[in-house]
Structure 1
Amino acid sequence: MELASAASADVTWPSWVLVVAAVLVPGLLLAGPALRSRYPGAWWLLCGFPAVAFRVVQTWRPLMAGCGLAVSRRPALTVVSGLVGKGAPPPQPRVPRRGLIRPTSGGFVLLVRLLPGQVPEHFVKAAPAMAESWQVHAVRVTSWKPGIVRIVASAVDPLADPQVPKQRGPGHLLRVTVGALETGAAWVIDLRRVPHWLIVGATRSGKSTLINALVAGLAPQPVALVGIDCKGGMELSLYEPRLSALATNREQAVRLLTALVDLTLDRMSLCRAAHVRSIWGLPDKERPIPVVVIVDEIAELFLVASRNEKDEAHAAGTALIRLAQLGAALGVFLVVAGQRVGSDLGPGVTALRAQLGGRVCHRVADPGTAEMALGDLNPDALKAAQAIAPEQAGTAVLASGDGWERARSYLITEADAEAVAAEYAHLTPALSELHVEP
């Protein structure tokens, strides 16, 4: 009796699978368009990813062979002699072994082990062919570890129209989501992890939009915002209700930067007295408030027309370099922005650039600025930044010691940023030591 029941179960189990599949697949096909528009993440996991994964599996061997990434198992003469002598079919070539295909929010990731003699550049050249074969928006290949590459595919363009996420409360201290990465993940600027940033971009490239997003994210947080805008404050004065100090010309900037250096040295003495190596080792009640310094149009600080201006520019550059060297452990962070940044502005700019670990490069008007921003970190990032078209406003290449990504900031208008600054003006800390006389 039990054997009969078991046999019956074995017979009905495949039938039930077929019935469920017959109902589920047409349902997904019918509901697919609505599901894709309202719940794109769910649609991708249920419909899009399985279809793309099937294409990857089916096309892997012929794709590797077509891109020159497959290797014959036997020398060519041996293969020919075998065909002539025995009529045997030619042996299948060896192809790089791939790992599991893991879905992401808008694509997938897989690791591939290289064959002897292969280098990651071979797969980088084959990336467009992979995207075409798998019918996805883009494929990017990076080196994962020696002998292994990481393939990241994006099913759609996540940079086409990134949406500002709904945020509840101030979030993590000094951590702001400012846009979307090409992989579909959130673009996060975390000043605790990468304390100092250089942001470059031509007019209408998205540089100001990125600063708006950064200010809007920092405004609800318990931090002090300090502005230096030597173009008369035309840009940063929008956020003045939320700024603890604002310098609108170079003379004021030198005084403010000098005061910031003094503040940093005071915090150093505080940490030394408490026997800690940074302010983050102090108790919460004793910890000084973090200070984020936003410098807009760095060239205005370094351009000189007289001996007096040369002395001011030197003093400003020296103070910025000292803040970059000492500030991370003492709660002072730099965000330096400019349309043009080059070595022609003086050696101070090059020395400062070396201290700014995070780099963001939008479309730029001259290749020297892109070279200054990304050239010392990653040559591939430099090529990607130089390929940004004028119509791709907001798109940027960001790089740090961890690698590089293409990204796009959220569209936060000046009016929106100004409204956020006014809304959180009551959180502006009064730092009397940073007071700047007009």
Structure 2
Amino acid sequence: MGDLTLWLEATGALAGAGGLGYAKHRAPRVYWSTVGLPLTWGRFTWSYRSTMEVCGLTVQPAGFRAFMTRNLTRREVRPVPPKVRRVCPTSTGLRITLRLPAGLEPADVATSSERLRHAFGVQSVNVAETKPGYVELRMTGYDVLRRVRLPRSAQPRDLVVPVALREDGTVFERDYRAVPMALTLGANQSGKSVYQRNLVKGLAKLPVGLIGIDCKRGVEHSRYAPRLSALATDPDMAGRLIDALVLEMSERFDLLALHGVSDVWDLPAKLRPAPLVVLIDEVAELFFVTSKKDEAARDRTVMQLVRLGQMARAIGIY
């Protein structure tokens, strides 16, 4: 009976270790929440002061405080580290808010981020200034970019679309009202198409009109055709579609002038036209011509596109 119990205990221990190893590589969120988070939090709590001293992130205490410590408590006067104001666990790591003492600045903490990463045994440490005198240590317990999974709370709203994860585990959101126009650049295989697909997926859930311009015969945008309000697949169609957008822009400006407002969002909801988001795949294709006779049409298209870029934000075209 004793041998059987010993065998069962050993088998259970091996199965548990194997399960943890599997979770660490195949389900890192589960491993972090059950094992990594408690260990890291404990390591941070017990070694915080000594780690800050070794990393040079301490300052000498004020004269009065040093006097009181030396003469009343009879203790050694030690350098003062940043004060921990809040520790917030997340599904990807830890968020720690620090109050910096006089003499330290956020750049000092950022310079030591790599040393803090090794000291606390985490995947990465990013430093962000939240307000004057405060910084946030954004620790990630595993490589969040290996298998990207947006949190369930990241949902599109208004004209804000969550599209990716940053290295520190925070969600990158595309806010069209804050940044109405943008040009996405990158090398081959850098993720431009994935970024665009995530944009379309988020925008498709919102009450907006989607306009696609893809002069590569629609190889990228054709898959979105059921949701698109209009799609141009060659330079001639693109020119006509951009002319139509400029005409729509003029009509919307007439609407703003009629009601005495300067922004489409100042209109009552029942009068406000739906926002339009124009997605252009390979904008350089609009500039190419194969013969001199096509230059006039190309120049007109570019001019109309520039007009949209200059003025369309006020009337809800992005």
TM-score (norm 1): 0.57
Structure 1 residues 135, 242: CA separation in 2 closer, same or farther (over 3 Å shift)? Answer: same
Structure 1 residues 93, 220: CA separation in 2 closer, same or farther (over 3 Å shift)? Answer: closer
Q: How does 1:85-100 map to 2 (within 5 A)?
A: 91-100=77-86
CA drift of 1:92 comes to 1.9
The answer to which of 207-216 and 41-50 deviates more is 41-50
Say yes or no: does 1:270 pair with 2:255. Answer: yes
Q: 2:132 aligns with which of 133, 146, 163?
A: 146
Structure 1 residues 306, 331: CA separation in 2 closer, same or farther (over 3 Å shift)? Answer: same
Give the aligned partner of residue 215 of structure 1: 200
Deviations, residues 158-187 of structure 1 (Å, cap 9, x unaligned): 2211236779xx963434333333343444
CA drift of 1:312 comes to 4.7
Cα pair 2:59 2:104 within 8 Å, conserved: no
Give me the whole-angstrom Cα distance separating, in 1, the residues matched to 2:139 and 2:183. Answer: 28
Structure 1 residues 221, 120: CA separation in 2 closer, same or farther (over 3 Å shift)? Answer: closer
Cα pair 2:150 2:171 within 8 Å, conserved: no
Structure 1 residues 174, 142: CA separation in 2 closer, same or farther (over 3 Å shift)? Answer: closer
Q: How does 1:83-162 map to 2 (within 5 A)?
A: 91-162=77-148
Structure 1 residues 262, 128: CA separation in 2 closer, same or farther (over 3 Å shift)? Answer: same
CA drift of 1:123 comes to 1.5
Cα pair 1:35 1:42 within 8 Å, conserved: no
CA drift of 1:102 comes to 1.8
Structure 1 residues 230, 70: CA separation in 2 closer, same or farther (over 3 Å shift)? Answer: same
Give me the whole-angstrom Cα distance separating, in 1, the residues matched to 2:161 and 2:259. Answer: 30
Q: 1:66 aligns with which of 54, 59, 63?
A: 54
| SS of equivalent residue, structure 1 residue 196 | coil
CA drift of 1:130 comes to 0.8
Cα pair 1:105 1:185 within 8 Å, conserved: no
| SS of equivalent residue, structure 1 residue 68 | coil
Give me the whole-angstrom Cα distance separating, in 1, the residues matched to 2:297 and 2:53. Answer: 62
Say yes or no: does 1:280 pair with 2:265. Answer: yes
What letter is aligned with 2:55?
C
Give me the whole-angstrom Cα distance separating, in 1, the residues matched to 2:294 and 2:56. Answer: 59
CA drift of 1:122 comes to 1.9
5+ long unaligned stretches in structure 2: 1-15, 64-73
CA drift of 1:132 comes to 0.9
Deviations, residues 284-338 of structure 1 (Å, cap 9, x unaligned): 44322221100111222335677666655544443333323322331211xxxxx
Work out which structure has the larger RCO, using CA pairs closer than 8 Å and 6 or more positions apart in sequence. Answer: 1
CA drift of 1:193 comes to 4.0
Structure 1 residues 174, 90: CA separation in 2 closer, same or farther (over 3 Å shift)? Answer: closer
What letter is aligned with 1:138?
S
Give me the whole-angstrom Cα distance separating, in 2, the residues matched to 1:184 and 1:124. Answer: 17
Give me the whole-angstrom Cα distance separating, in 2, the residues matched to 1:263 and 1:226. Answer: 13
Q: 1:163 aligns with which of 111, 128, 149?
A: 149
5+ long unaligned stretches in structure 1: 1-28, 76-87, 334-438
CA drift of 1:248 comes to 2.9
Structure 1 residues 39, 266: CA separation in 2 closer, same or farther (over 3 Å shift)? Answer: same
Cα pair 1:44 1:106 within 8 Å, conserved: yes
Say yes or no: does 1:199 pair with 2:184. Answer: yes
Q: 1:299 aligns with which of 266, 284, 287?
A: 284
Give the aligned partner of residue 232 of structure 1: 217
CA drift of 1:245 comes to 2.3
Give me the whole-angstrom Cα distance separating, in 1, the residues matched to 2:130 and 2:268. Answer: 39
Give me the whole-angstrom Cα distance separating, in 2, the residues matched to 1:73 and 1:274. Answer: 62
CA drift of 1:63 comes to 1.8
